[in-house]
Amino acid sequence: MSMPVATYGCTACDLSCWDASTWGYRYYLHGETKVRMRVAIGWCHACADLGVIEVLPDAAGELERQRKLEAYRAELSEVLAASPPRKRWWQFSANKSTRQMILEGEVESAAEALAEYRLAREALSSRVSRGRCLRCGSDDCLQLPPHEARYYDPEPRPEPIGFEHPGCGGQITIYCDGLRVSMRLTEKAYDLEGSLLDPV
């Protein structure tokens, strides 16, 4: 299956990097449990390049997920309050509105995301090193400022994301030109300090 790709570039040089390298499943081995690792394209000072970096869970990220869940729950209870009372319990599912079903799905996946995030925070609570570059293992790397990949932008053009290309002075941009690629997705295990474990 192919998926749309965002390309990072620079306004002053030919730097280029696909977000497709973040695809796949990477996890920490926490005892017997697999805990999903979050990654993003970031800047590694050691590689002097863009690359896949580890994004560690933090309190702000947990709060964000909690707020999202609460917002969906509040919306769902509004929908429920506005819908006519059911007469018989077996009519319940037949009477569900599409809006209600969508919101129930959103509540469920937001709750799962929050639980997964909490698990990751707990697993990584004694973590010493900062998020690492997954190419070279250095933790001397930076997350890019928040930005969006608009995969279906009708008028695609490179958008600066508010980050200067270190050592170059150009602006890092993101660009989705409708390019799709399919690649074999990686599945890699790491220890809790973010070091790659040998494949079993």
Residues in contact with Zn ion by the rule CB under 5 A:
10, 12-13, 15, 44, 46-47, 133, 135-136, 138, 165, 168, 170
Closer to Zn ion by CB, 15 or 119: give it: 15
Cα separations in angstroms, 76 against 64, 65, 93, 100, 186 = 18, 17, 15, 6, 37
Closer to Zn ion by CB, 136 or 183: give it: 136
- End-to-end CA gap in the chain: 27
Closer to Zn ion by CB, 76 or 168: give it: 168
Q: How far is the CB of 170 from Zn ion (least distance, A)?
A: 4
Q: How far is the CB of 160 from Zn ion (least distance, A)?
A: 12
- Largest alpha-carbon pair distance within the chain? 69
Q: How far is the CB of 104 from Zn ion (least distance, A)?
A: 43
Q: How far is the CB of 164 from Zn ion (least distance, A)?
A: 9
Cα dihedral angle (186, 35, 134, 42), rounded to 10 degrees?
100
Closer to Zn ion by CB, 65 or 165: give it: 165
The two structure tokens encoding residue 119? 């698990």
On whether the CB atoms of residues 19 and 2 are closer than 8 A, the answer is: no
Closer to Zn ion by CB, 46 or 80: give it: 46
Q: How far is the CB of 62 from Zn ion (least distance, A)?
A: 27
How many C-beta neighbours within 10 Å does residue 163 have?
20
What is the Cα–Cα distance from 72 to 111, expressed in whole angstroms? 10
